[in-house]
Structure 1
Amino acid sequence: RKSSSSVQMMESTESSNTTIEDEDVKARKQEIIKVTEQLIEAINNGDFEAYTKICDPGLTAFEPEALGNLVEGMDFHRLYFENALSKSNKPIHTIILNPHVHLVGDDAACIAYIRLTQYMDGSGMPKTMQSEETRVWHRRDGKWQNVHFHRSGSPTVPLN
């Protein structure tokens, strides 16, 4: 594959030391962080097939590209994968800052975090974009699926 990407998670020490959680809760929260990392990796790699496996077919989203509108389904996202993300041969590195996971019963969770995306622009200069993201996950048949997200800040696709 011509592009390479990586996803890294960073957490502040204050947030991880404020409460003592039992191991089961910690493991379940870590599972949500891991599936979120896999989703972002699919985006960074322009891998629409992997993205669709992680997302619910009825995925809803508010994101900068939708210009304030709620979009539903995968067609809106397909355009970006087929025309921009998959064509990029620039390495992309993503950092997930201070993820906060809210478990909602056994089969639902919400994660909120800052996403920093580092890449090389058209002139070879390193650039960083920031977005604020919230994702809602639902477990069906033992598999986590992203059912909704809200992203503010920079668009996913580097502008130059």
Structure 2
Amino acid sequence: MDFHRFYFENLLAKNSKPIHTTILNPHVHVIGEDAACIAYIRLTQYIDGQGRPRTSQSEETRVWHRRDGKWQNVHFHCSGAPVAPLQ
């Protein structure tokens, strides 16, 4: 229901272009103690410049590496729709 609620709550909003993101099917692959690869599908809901509800989908992969005790995203790849919707 959250997926549909976004449109009902924001379709009539004026001067606002909210964006809602949903992460689907995350897969986490731990590589040793200091690395991980995370792959998922991102659904992005938004209201376009003409006030129409839109949804874009992309497949994303992020590679994380622990350096000095802190996790850092060292690589990002996106296939499909743009990461951010075009206005």
State the TM-score bracket (shorter-chain normalisation).
0.7 to 0.9
Q: One-letter code of the match for 1:118?
A: Q
Structure-to-structure mapping, 1:111-126, within 5 angstroms: 111-126=38-53
**Which residue, out of 53, 71, 74, partners 1:144?**
71
| Structure 2 portions without partners, runs of 5+ | 1-15
Aligned Cα RMSD in Å?
1.1
Corresponding residue SS for 1:145 = strand
If each structure's helix is expressed as a fraction of its own residues, which one has the higher value? Answer: 1
Q: One-letter code of the match for 1:93?
A: H
Instruction: State the aligned residue count.
Output: 72
TM-score (norm 1): 0.43
Structure-to-structure mapping, 1:43-122, within 5 angstroms: 90-122=17-49
1:79-129 deviation line (CA, Å, top 9, x unaligned): xxxxxxxxxx51111000010000001110000100000011011111100
If each structure's strand is expressed as a fraction of its own residues, which one has the higher value? Answer: 2
TM-score (norm 2): 0.77
Distance 2:45 2:37 in 1: 25
| Structure 1 portions without partners, runs of 5+ | 1-88
Equivalent residue number for residue 80 of structure 2: 153
Q: One-letter code of the match for 2:48?
A: D
Distance 1:129 1:92 in 2: 11
1:40-73 deviation line (CA, Å, top 9, x unaligned): xxxxxxxxxxxxxxxxxxxxxxxxxxxxxxxxxx
Q: Quote how far apart the aligned CAs of 1:159 are.
A: 2.1
Higher relative contact order (CA 8 A, sep 6+): 1
Q: Quote how far apart the aligned CAs of 1:156 are.
A: 1.8
Runs of 4+ in 1 over 4 A off after TM superposition: none
